[in-house]
C-alpha cells in the first residue's frame, strides 16, 4: 500500500503531461508519489480539464487521503476550477507556476489576432474569469521575471502601446508570456518571484526545490 503523499502535476497551454517529467522527478526524490495529468489544452474547455482530474482520482485515489496539486500556467487555472467544482477531495496544498491568475494579456491578443492559438483555453480561464480557489486551501504562487518566451512579441507590442516611457516599461516585468502583476492571486498563502522565464519554471531546479518546500511546510524557503 502506497503511503507516500500524492502530488498531481497539471501542465500548461500547448503541452502534455510529459513536459512535467523533470519536476515530477524532483518531487519523487523528495518523497512524493506523482502523476502528470494530460489534457487537450486548446480543444476542450476548462470544465473538461478539471473533470479529467476528478475522474483520475475516482479511479486511482482514496477520497479520504489528502493530495497536493501543482500546475504550470493554464494548469494553475485548471486547479482553481477543480477546487471549486469538486470539493469532495481533500486538498493538502497547491502550487502554481507562472499562472496568469488575473487573466492573460498575451492570450487576449492571441484570442483576437490568432484565435487558433488559444481556442477554448480562453473562455472561463485565460480571460481572467476562472473562479478563485475556496478559502482554507493553502496556495503557493511562483512567478518568473526573466523576459524570454514565445509571448515576447505580443507583450512588447502591448508595452509600446500602453507604457510610453522606459520607466513605465521597466515597471511591468514579465516572464516572456505572463506579466508579474497577472500572476497575483489575492488569497494566496505565499508568493515568490524568481529570475526564470515562463517555460523554464517547470525545468528549473530552484523552482522545483521551492515547490517541494511549500508542499512540505506551507511556505516558500527564504
- Residues 131-154, mean pLDDT to the nearest whole number: 93
Residue 176 has pLDDT above 90, yes or no: yes
Residue 168 has pLDDT above 80, yes or no: no
Among the listed ranges 30-39, 147-156, 191-200, 209-218, which one has the minimum average pLDDT value?
147-156
- What is the signed CA dihedral for 77, 29, 218, 52, rounded to 10 degrees? 30
Span 67-113, pLDDT tens digits: 999 999 999 999 999 999 999 999 999 999 999 999 999 999 999 99
pLDDT value for 160: 74
pTM of the full structure: 0.94
- Residues 177-190, mean pLDDT to the nearest whole number: 96
Domain segments of the chain: what residues? Answer: 6-217
- Residues 129-143, mean pLDDT to the nearest whole number: 95
Averaged pLDDT of the chain: 94
pLDDT value for 122: 97
CATH 3.30.70.1380 fits 6-217, yes or no: no
Does residue 94 sit in helix, strand or coil?
A: strand
- Residues 54-59, mean pLDDT to the nearest whole number: 96
What percentage of the chain has pLDDT greater than the value 70? 95
For residue 214, CA distances in Å to 74, 120, 133, 180 come to 20, 31, 17, 20
Span 1-14, pLDDT tens digits: 467 899 999 999 99
85, 47 Cβ separation under 8 angstroms: yes
pLDDT value for 3: 76
Burial of 107 (C-beta count, 10 Å sphere; 0-12/13-18/19+): buried
Angle in degrees, 0-180, between the axes of helices 205-217 and 21-29, rounded to the nearest 10? 50
Burial of 21 (C-beta count, 10 Å sphere; 0-12/13-18/19+): middle
Amino acid at each position: 500500500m502506497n503511503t507516500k503523499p500524492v502530488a498531481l502535476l497539471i501542465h500548461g497551454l500547448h503541452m502534455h503531461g510529459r513536459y512535467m517529467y523533470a519536476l515530477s522527478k524532483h518531487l519523487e526524490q523528495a518523497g512524493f508519489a506523482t502523476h502528470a495529468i494530460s489534457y487537450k489544452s486548446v480543444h476542450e474547455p476548462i470544465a473538461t480539464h478539471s473533470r479529467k482530474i476528478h475522474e483520475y482520482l475516482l479511479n486511482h485515489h482514496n477520497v479520504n487521503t489528502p493530495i497536493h496539486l501543482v500546475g504550470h500556467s493554464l494548469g494553475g487555472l485548471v486547479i482553481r476550477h477543480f477546487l471549486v467544482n469538486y470539493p469532495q477531495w481533500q486538498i493538502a496544498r497547491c502550487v502554481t507556476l507562472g499562472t496568469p491568475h488575473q487573466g492573460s494579456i498575451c492570450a487576449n491578443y492571441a484570442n483576437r489576432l490568432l484565435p487558433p492559438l488559444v481556442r477554448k483555453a480562453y473562455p472561463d480561464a485565460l480571460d481572467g474569469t476562472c473562479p478563485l480557489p475556496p478559502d482554507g486551501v493553502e496556495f503557493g504562487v511562483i512567478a518568473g521575471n526573466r523576459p524570454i518566451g514565445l509571448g515576447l512579441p505580443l507583450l512588447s507590442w502591448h508595452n509600446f502601446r500602453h507604457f510610453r516611457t522606459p520607466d513605465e516599461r521597466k515597471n511591468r516585468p514579465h516572464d516572456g508570456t505572463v506579466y508579474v502583476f497577472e500572476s497575483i492571486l489575492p488569497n494566496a498563502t505565499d508568493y515568490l518571484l524568481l529570475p526564470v522565464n515562463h517555460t523554464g519554471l517547470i525545468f528549473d531546479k530552484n523552482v522545483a526545490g521551492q515547490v517541494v518546500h511549500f508542499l512540505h511546510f506551507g511556505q516558500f524557503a527564504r
